[in-house]
C-alpha cells in the first residue's frame, strides 16, 4: 500500500509527499529528519492522505496535487469552503 499525504507546517504552508509507510514517514518529518522543506517548519500536522495500491499511482497523484493552487489544496482537504 502507498500513501499520498499533505502536511500543514507551522507557518501554515502545505507540503505534499508520498510514502509506503505513512506512520514512519510522519515520525521522520516530525523529528526534523524528513524533507528539507519541512525541517525548518516544525511542527507539522497530517491534514490529508489517500491510499493507492502501487507506487506509480501514488506518484502520479502526488504530482497532480503539487500542481494545484493553494486554494484547490485547501478545498481538497476540507479547510476551504
In this predicted structure, the answer to whether residue 79 has a pLDDT above a threshold of 80 is no
- What residues make up the domain containing 36? 2-77
Whole-prediction pTM value? 0.93
Neighbours of 32 (CB within 10 A): 12
What are the angstrom distances between the C-alpha of 25 and each of 15, 51, 54, 69? 13, 14, 17, 24
Which set of grid coordinates corresponds to residue 4? 499520498
Query: What's residue 81's pLDDT?
Result: 59
pLDDT, tens digit, 9 for 90 and up, residues 22-39:
999 999 999 999 899 999
> Which residues make Cβ contacts (< 8 Å) with residue 2, sequence separation at least 6?
18, 19, 20, 51, 52, 53, 54, 55, 57, 58
At 36, which CATH number? 3.40.1440.10
Mean pLDDT calculated for residue range 68-79 = 93
**What is the average pLDDT score of the chain?**
95
Total number of domains constituting the chain: 1
Amino acid at each position: 500500500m502507498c500513501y499520498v499525504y499533505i502536511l500543514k507546517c507551522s507557518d501554515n504552508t502545505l507540503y505534499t509527499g508520498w510514502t509506503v509507510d505513512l506512520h514512519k514517514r510522519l515520525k521522520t518529518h516530525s523529528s526534523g529528519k524528513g524533507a528539507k522543506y519541512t525541517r525548518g517548519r516544525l511542527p507539522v500536522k497530517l491534514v490529508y492522505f489517500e491510499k493507492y495500491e502501487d507506487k506509480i499511482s501514488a506518484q502520479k497523484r502526488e504530482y497532480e496535487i503539487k500542481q494545484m493552487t493553494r486554494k484547490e489544496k485547501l478545498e481538497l482537504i476540507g479547510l476551504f469552503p
